[in-house]
Amino acid sequence: MSFDFDSLKHMRPEDMIVRLEAMKAQAEQQLAAFEAMKEQITAITVTRTDAEGMVTLTVGSDGYITDLVIDPAVHGQQYRRLGSVIVATLAEARAELQQKLNEAAPRRG
């Protein structure tokens, strides 16, 4: 809702109050909707496990790792590849997260 300040010049004070109260109510509704959307988005997480089951990690809505589990059976050659497996699994999780965030975002038309 846009507001035309020039229109106030021709309004009675009681009409101004009614109009301003309506604008305040609309702003409060928009704020409540925004807060609800924010809570919904910040609750989004993604958990991914690599194809070999060596690494399971979870990312929060900000894309940071919130949990990382490495299979205790990882050893030898697997251990040497562990860093690249973590990075690849993180990339997959972040891609899935971005898709979920896009789906949760309100559509603008």
Residue 109 falls inside a structural domain? no
Q: What is the pLDDT of residues 50-107, one digit of tens each?
A: 999 999 999 999 999 999 999 999 988 888 999 999 999 999 999 999 999 998 877 7
Say if residue 34 is in the same domain as residue 84. Answer: no
Rounded Cα distance between 48 and 31, Å, is 34
Say if residue 58 is in the same domain as residue 81. Answer: yes
3-state secondary structure of 109: coil
Say if residue 100 is in the same domain as residue 50. Answer: yes
Residue 85 confidence (pLDDT):
96
3-state secondary structure of 5: helix
Q: What angle do CA 19, 23, 24 make, to 5 degrees?
A: 115
3-state secondary structure of 11: coil
Residue 77 confidence (pLDDT):
85
Q: Tell me 72's DSSP state.
A: T
Report the predicted TM-score, pTM, of the whole model to 2 decimal places: 0.72
CATH of the domain at 52: 3.30.1310.10
Number of domains present in the structure of the chain: 2
Question: Residue 9 belongs to what domain range?
Answer: 5-41
Say if residue 58 is in the same domain as residue 35. Answer: no
Which of 16, 14, 25 lies closest to 5, judged by CA? 16
